[in-house]
Structure 1
Amino acid sequence: MNQRITAGFLCLLLAAAPMLGGCEKDRGTGAGYLFSYTLDANPQSLDPQLATDEASLTVIGNLFSGLFRMDDTGNVVPDVAESYEISPDGCTYTVHMRKDNYWYSLGDARQEATRTDSEDAAKHAAPVTAADFVYAFQRLFDPQTDSPYRERFAALKNGQRIMDGELDCTQIGVDASDTYTVVFTLDRPDANFLSLLATTAAMPCNPSFFYGCKGRYGLDEDSVISNGAFYLRMWFYDPYGKENQIYMRRNALNSRAKQVYPSNLTFYIQDAQKAEQNFRDSLTDCLLTADSSYAASGKYTTLSYESVTYGLIFNPRHSQYSNASLRKALSLGARSADYAPMLGADTTEAFALVPPAVRMLGKEYRELVSQQSVQPAGQDAAVLYTQALDELGIASLESAQILVPAGLTDYAALHEIVRRWSDLFGFYIGIDPVDPETYAQRLQDGEYAIALYGTGSDYNSPAGALQQLLEQQGMLGMSEQTLRDVQAQLQEAAGVENLSGTLEHYRAAERLLLEDACFIPLFYKQEYLVFRPDNEDLAFDPFTGQVFFADAKHFE
């Protein structure tokens, strides 16, 4: 059966009560449409304090609302928050919440379907309160949760002591001063704290519902609750099946305060290749892709961000290409002036690390900290190459190939870099394009000398982009001294009271990494959200890969 027809049938079948909303379209406002999208994997968990994979984060982003969110210009704006104050010392954040945000789940929908009275549904719903955010942060720091995000919030009062096992997680510096006021107390100022409150990890958790799940929270449709635009109606996944999908419906209670335009969402759970086919066959409404041909065709509306920095990394276990002097010589030999004219329309030259999609103070970070300002002091590539040969005790370098993922971009610019290296140093390096699965496996197994590698951030901050490189220290062959020095700069940046004061620390951290030459940046790559012109106001986060549908409209 056609999947769009299946979803439409479900919409009719499930419209058992007025509370749940119907599938009627409002062609004047674009509301009432059933949007469809393909996830390239089954979500691992819909627990905001745990989820890390793109499929999970996309579903969570449409299920939950946090105190704050990022708008489309990269600024932090209130969501469940109504207003907030920050103390002069930057160590206390007092957040006043809206009183019209509600929890809703499949269990609530079932009760609504059987209720015979005509009372306002809000009278039966549980409001989201400050206690739900307090409990979320206690879970975040609970060692039993084992959240991958808690270190980001280490500036919270007692955060480090809890992580060191000295205090219980209930001692974390998050309190409810009244039903709708959350107070965050920090041990030290953190200029990124407001941005962190806009991330998935800071979403609320209803303790009563959590304990009622008996260890299955976030793992099936009966163990997921929503305070966002939609609630989860069905989650079906069979690893051997073809009709795997997640079906969501508009949270009509929350739509009263802030209109949710689609009536329903269907997420098909298939692979990346099927995602493209579904979009081309008009079975889905949008596609997240790095393929620039969709944008170039002129047939679609596209949103794009340069969110990934691609560059060269060297196998730290390779007998020759792991040499630091050689890395630096090759870095100096890869001059952007030579290869920039050969880059495709979807890429721009990069000689810094943080991609342009990262924004601060209402601007692109790269406007505030230019690429030129992070460049290390000049050295001579030929001198460094000779030094590398002496350190390795060899007369010449053995040939090698650069491992690259096939189809990522036109590699004419990379060929130009290789040609220049041959002219400068007199050795041959080839290019070895392989399919994405083979590429990932060879990286994991260390079966490469040089590889093209992409890095970005999983939230909108220079600190996120730089920290992601630090987390890959072992694979990049970064020196221990560089690791310590960059960590020190990021810690200094985190302790600054305002974002503008962090810029010099980020600049210094970026320069240190470039001096180490463990990652040689070459180009920034566009990522696109593509949809047909009859759809409007879809959005995506270029850092997490989340696609958001609450404001999406469809016109015929």
Structure 2
Amino acid sequence: MKQFFRITAALLAAAFLLALTGCGSSSSAPSFTWFVDTIPANLDPQVASAAPDVIACENLYSGLVRKKADGEIVPDLSESWTVSSDGKTYTFQIKDGLTYKAVKGASTDHTITAEDFVFAFRRIFQPQTNSPYAVEFAALENSAAVLAGTADASTLGVSAAGPLTLVFRLSEKDDNFLAKLTLPGAMPCDEAFFESTRGTYGLTAKTTLSSGSFYLYNWTASGLFLHRDVSSPMIGSLRLVQNTGSTGKSAAQLIADEKCSAALDDTGEDTSLQSVDYSDTTWALLFNSAEDSVFADQELRQALAGIARENVDVPSSGLYTAAEGLVPTGLSVDGIDYRKSAGNPLPTITDPRTLYLNARQGMASSDFSGVTILLPKEAGLTELAEQINGAWQKDCSLFFSVEEVPQEEFDKRLAAGSYTIALAPIRAEGGSVYQMLQQFTAEGGGLTGWSDPIYSQRLAESAQQTGNARCALLADCERQLLEGCAVVPLLGQNRRLLVADGITGLVFDPFTPVLDLTDAQKN
């Protein structure tokens, strides 16, 4: 089972809350309970995208390589590999005698061979699979044509040169290719077993096979339970369940009460616990820029955006920092620090008050009737919204109301475009810069109603590139989006994972989101 979860994965869909508990078990090896929002529903590694599903897959399956805590990539199901001098051909030798495990660790006759990896990658690029991992392996030869359905899957740049020899051929060098082979989509899939499931692969316990150090023990409406054959102090079982008895308690309190051994925290409270800090969320002003909206006028948006940015004070709670762009600091693209590579994308708006006067020509005061600033009631950013609103009143004589609604209602209205101005959290689900920017295309949900064919084209092109070329295209998209001022980044939200003393060997990547338990111990 691999130990690394990359920051650039294309994944995932909604905000997550999880905690990890180190409760004892009846066996000699300790157990680990992980709170998830919903019980995992899909254990197909080539398809899994929801956070609980990815968490399960990353512990249930192993791939060719894994990454250790110190960053070293080491063999997992492979014995060794070689890379050609031009960096475009990777040849792996797979360990002999490997087999899949069935439910409760039962042995099977399904051996793990090179063909299983070939089949897995062909599945990724079958259009009907709709795999979130296709964008990550775009460097494979002929991948775009296979994904588009204009070429047969057999032409994809992955092949078996023997039962235990796997060859990848890239159309261009990808310096992060080895790290990408730790993603769920790169896990092996036995074609005969897959076909025998008749469309239910990974959807039930009986139609799931494990290739990792953990195997599936039980899967019910109450939770998903993984076991492995190890002894103390190694973690021997992983329980993925919902938190039904300790809601409302902070992460630190849950750990203090020995309800969990680690938990995500965004309170900023002082603590002596081990912590890993990160940011995956940017709070931004969103202007509804649909054609029938008063904020369809870009000059008006730019004027209000400039005034808002001049009057933002970072809250003193320690939970926030000034946004350096829409994409948070710390995210990477193909192993490249995105924010460092992309630079500062925030537009320079000179003399926003004159811009406002120009924009108001021909507009009536009635055009602004019904405009409100929508924000989630639980966000704790009322003061910020009122601060911005006050600046607009002072400089533009615009009088808006601040409308706070429950999170569920806020999410529905945002998705439906039922707002005029919103103060909203924009999340990098799965740590994906591409996904974060895609939310502002019609295909990705059209979050603000703003659209530009050049933006959509550049974003689509970025999915076919790797490394610096992909970073450059994504950076162009971010700058173009922010220059239009339908989105105005204000604050980066800080988060952290708190870990209790005695827990070692966890490898945490906040952007997957998952913890790798391969080397996890409870001392």
* TM-score normalised according to structure 2 size: 0.82
Q: Does 1:142 align with 2:126?
A: yes
Q: Does 1:54 align with 2:51?
A: yes
Q: Does 1:537 align with 2:509?
A: no
Q: Does 1:429 align with 2:413?
A: no
Q: For the residues of structure 2 that align with 1:395 and 1:379, how far apart are their CA atoms? A: 27
Q: For the residues of structure 2 that align with 1:272 and 1:394, how far apart are their CA atoms? A: 52
Please tell me the residue identity of whatever aligns with 2:403. Answer: D
Shift of the 348–319 alpha-carbon distance from structure 1 to 2, 3 Å rule, reads same
1:141-220 alignment runs, 5 A limit? 141-190=125-174, 193-220=177-204
Corresponding position of 1:17: none
Q: Larger % of helix: which?
A: 1
Alpha-carbon offset, residue 233 of structure 1: 0.2
Is the contact made by 1:398 and 1:427 (CA closer than 8 Å) also made in structure 2?
no
Which among 222, 234, 253 is matched to residue 261 of structure 1?
234
Corresponding position of 1:478: 450
Alpha-carbon offset, residue 350 of structure 1: 0.5
| Larger mean Cα displacement after TM superposition, 325-334 or 55-64 | 325-334
- Give RMSD over aligned pairs: 3.6
Shift of the 487–341 alpha-carbon distance from structure 1 to 2, 3 Å rule, reads closer
Q: For the residues of structure 2 that align with 1:522 and 1:282, how far apart are their CA atoms? A: 37
Q: Does 1:457 align with 2:425?
A: no
Shift of the 70–445 alpha-carbon distance from structure 1 to 2, 3 Å rule, reads farther
Q: Does 1:292 align with 2:273?
A: no
Q: Does 1:347 align with 2:320?
A: yes
Please tell me the residue identity of whatever aligns with 2:47. Answer: L
Structure 1 residue runs of 5 or longer lacking an equivalent are 13-22, 25-31, 112-123, 238-243
Alpha-carbon offset, residue 284 of structure 1: 3.4
| Larger mean Cα displacement after TM superposition, 83-92 or 70-79 | 70-79
Shift of the 347–459 alpha-carbon distance from structure 1 to 2, 3 Å rule, reads same
1:311-350 alignment runs, 5 A limit? 311-317=284-290, 319-335=293-309, 338-350=311-323
Alpha-carbon offset, residue 356 of structure 1: 1.4
Shift of the 265–540 alpha-carbon distance from structure 1 to 2, 3 Å rule, reads same
Shift of the 449–342 alpha-carbon distance from structure 1 to 2, 3 Å rule, reads same
Q: For the residues of structure 1 that align with 2:432 and 2:327, how far apart are their CA atoms? A: 9
Q: Does 1:249 align with 2:258?
A: no
Q: For the residues of structure 1 that align with 2:451 and 2:176, how far apart are their CA atoms? A: 27
Please tell me the residue identity of whatever aligns with 1:526. Answer: N
3-state SS, counterpart of residue 368 of structure 2: coil
Q: For the residues of structure 1 that align with 2:444 and 2:489, how far apart are their CA atoms? A: 15
Shift of the 485–162 alpha-carbon distance from structure 1 to 2, 3 Å rule, reads closer
Please tell me the residue identity of whatever aligns with 2:274. Answer: T
Structure 2 residue runs of 5 or longer lacking an equivalent are 1-19
Q: For the residues of structure 1 that align with 2:113 and 2:337, how far apart are their CA atoms? A: 35
Identical counterparts, % of pairs: 30
Corresponding position of 1:302: 275
Corresponding position of 1:522: 490
1:324-403 alignment runs, 5 A limit? 324-335=298-309, 338-359=311-332, 364-371=337-344, 374-390=345-361, 392=363, 397-398=368-369, 400-403=371-374
3-state SS, counterpart of residue 44 of structure 2: coil
Corresponding position of 2:418: 447
Corresponding position of 1:551: 519
Q: Deviations over 1:184-227 (max 9, x none)?
A: 22344556645543322222212233233333211122222222
Please tell me the residue identity of whatever aligns with 2:45. Answer: P
Q: For the residues of structure 2 that align with 1:359 and 1:526, how far apart are their CA atoms? A: 17
Alpha-carbon offset, residue 482 of structure 1: 4.4
Which among 480, 487, 490 is matched to residue 459 of structure 2?
487
Is the contact made by 2:115 and 2:160 (CA closer than 8 Å) also made in structure 1?
yes
Alpha-carbon offset, residue 47 of structure 1: 0.6
Please tell me the residue identity of whatever aligns with 1:486. Answer: R
Is the contact made by 2:226 and 2:237 (CA closer than 8 Å) also made in structure 1?
yes
Q: For the residues of structure 1 that align with 2:471 and 2:138, how far apart are their CA atoms? A: 21
Shift of the 33–416 alpha-carbon distance from structure 1 to 2, 3 Å rule, reads same
Is the contact made by 2:127 and 2:148 (CA closer than 8 Å) also made in structure 1?
no
Is the contact made by 1:40 and 1:271 (CA closer than 8 Å) also made in structure 2?
no
Alpha-carbon offset, residue 330 of structure 1: 2.2
- Paired residue total: 498
Is the contact made by 1:130 and 1:176 (CA closer than 8 Å) also made in structure 2?
yes
Shift of the 389–221 alpha-carbon distance from structure 1 to 2, 3 Å rule, reads same
Alpha-carbon offset, residue 461 of structure 1: 5.7
Corresponding position of 2:6: none
Q: Does 1:236 align with 2:235?
A: no
Please tell me the residue identity of whatever aligns with 1:450. Answer: I
3-state SS, counterpart of residue 116 of structure 2: helix
Q: For the residues of structure 2 that align with 1:429 and 1:421, how far apart are their CA atoms? A: 9
Shift of the 393–412 alpha-carbon distance from structure 1 to 2, 3 Å rule, reads closer
Q: For the residues of structure 2 that align with 1:83 and 1:387, how far apart are their CA atoms? A: 66
* TM-score normalised according to structure 1 size: 0.78
Corresponding position of 2:4: none
Please tell me the residue identity of whatever aligns with 2:332. Answer: R
Q: For the residues of structure 2 that align with 1:228 and 1:394, how far apart are their CA atoms? A: 64
Is the contact made by 1:36 and 1:283 (CA closer than 8 Å) also made in structure 2?
no
3-state SS, counterpart of residue 530 of structure 1: strand
Please tell me the residue identity of whatever aligns with 1:397. Answer: F
Q: Does 1:412 align with 2:390?
A: no
